[in-house]
Structure 1
Amino acid sequence: MSQFIDSQPFDAHPDTCSRSKLRKHLRKRRRSLSYEQQQQASEHLALNLLNNPDLHRARHIAIYLPNDGEIDPGLYMDLAQRKGIRFYLPVLHPIHKGRLVFSPYSDDIELRPNRFGIPEPAFSNGLRRPAWALDAVLFPLVGFDENGGRLGMGGGFYDRTFAFSRLRPGLAPKLIGLAHDFQRVGQLPIEPWDVPLHGVVTDRRCYRFSRPSTT
């Protein structure tokens, strides 16, 4: 019988729990999920994404291939592609270190592991889509809170790539983090370099931040 995974928020006040310890705890917890639990989470995530108003008009969406126990957006992608939505995978920029470019993704695209061991398309100037030309970006989180605070892997790739959204919010795509709902924590600090999220979508619900702020 289908049932949700326990999603009680982890008490992660920054004064008592370092970001590195919290990251380790949450990554271990999501890696411990069974195949059946991951499949169930993927199904519920797909429904929540299909019903998310921030994505109703999106036609060009950046997405990711799950790794390290991340929640799997694959079912959503399969369903959305039938509606003509095009998807793009992040690719490490070979020149501008710490930044991402986005290449079209389909089942027949050849993928190669990057330096982190994550499969990605080959870098191509002809096939890239600029970050500002995306309608939405769905990216994995390690942790998040209900105020828009978030915890990633610590590389800062998305923050550097979408830093322009601070100065030109009208050009910014919808930035939406994806996670298992148990990755919600009590409180996270919002760092000065964190690019604000429009929302977070989990296997249980959608969290929307109507006016994201770094203050």
Structure 2
Amino acid sequence: MHQNNMTRADFRKQIRARRKQLSDAFQQAASEQIIRQLSHLPELDTSQHIAIYLSTDGELSTHALIEWLWQQDKSVYLPVIHPFSTGQLLFLRYTPDTAMVQNRYGIAEPRLNQQLILPTRQLDLIFTPLVGFDASGHRLGMGGGYYDRTLEPWFKSRSGAKPLGLAHSCQFVERLPVESWDVPLPKIVTPDKIWSWE
């Protein structure tokens, strides 16, 4: 199928399949390279409260990155699906001792504990998962819209937590089909490059 005729669902399927074929050794090397890339990012120096996600489905592995952030004395937060605000995320502090549960998608998340919640506007950086991205910085997510809603305040006012996409190089496509609510990310980091649209 020619890329121009592909729907978002087509792209999602194709890129997820591509990503799942990456070997463990490739994933390991990519996670080390991503830390090297991020160590040069000025945003990381100036950020203390950093949201990230636990990788799944062939995503770029974030486990070594989380360990590295802890070593840098950063406070790390993970997304938790909001128990009653549909489609919203909460961010809870994550440490090596955090009690974890599985959410409805089978992804591990911190057990809901009000004392561990940090309001999203108080985060400095939100590492944002994505299925695919294009030459304009548009992000293709899993389709649930969780991060679109979470990042809306930043897109509207450029204040609060700054989003930073993480991806394998194979998740790049020249041009994604774009919806009216799609807003490009300011930066996406791959193991071999820092893409910036700022």
The count of residues paired between Structure 1 and Structure 2 equals 198
Name the counterpart of 2:109.
Answer: 120
**Matched residues, percent identical?**
41
Report if the CA contact (8 A) 1:141-1:178 is conserved: yes
TM-score, normalisation: structure 2: 0.94
Structure 1 Cα separation of the partners of residues 52 and 78 of structure 2 = 6
Name the counterpart of 1:88.
Answer: 77
Q: Structure 2 matches for 1:43-122, cutoff 5 A?
A: 43-122=32-111
Report if the CA contact (8 A) 1:63-1:88 is conserved: yes
Structure 1 Cα separation of the partners of residues 153 and 126 of structure 2 = 14
Deviating 4+ runs (over 6 angstroms)? none
Name the counterpart of 1:200.
Answer: 188
Deviation at 1:189, TM superposition (A): 3.5
- Structure 2: gaps of 5 or more residues: none
Once the two structures are superposed, what CA deviation does each residue of 1:140-170 show, in whole Å capped at 9, x if it has no partner? Answer: 1110012111111000001112222244322
**SS at the partner of 1:162?**
helix
TM-score, normalisation: structure 1: 0.87
Structure 2 Cα separation of the partners of residues 97 and 117 of structure 1 = 18
Q: Which has the higher helix share?
A: 2
Structure 2 Cα separation of the partners of residues 75 and 182 of structure 1 = 20
Answering whether residue 29 of structure 2 is matched by residue 40 of structure 1, we say yes
Name the counterpart of 1:213.
Answer: none
Q: CA RMSD in A?
A: 1.6
Once the two structures are superposed, what CA deviation does each residue of 1:55-97 show, in whole Å capped at 9, x if it has no partner? Answer: 2211110001110000012222222212211100000000101
Report if the CA contact (8 A) 2:125-2:162 is conserved: yes
Report if the CA contact (8 A) 2:165-2:187 is conserved: yes
Answering whether residue 113 of structure 2 is matched by residue 135 of structure 1, we say no
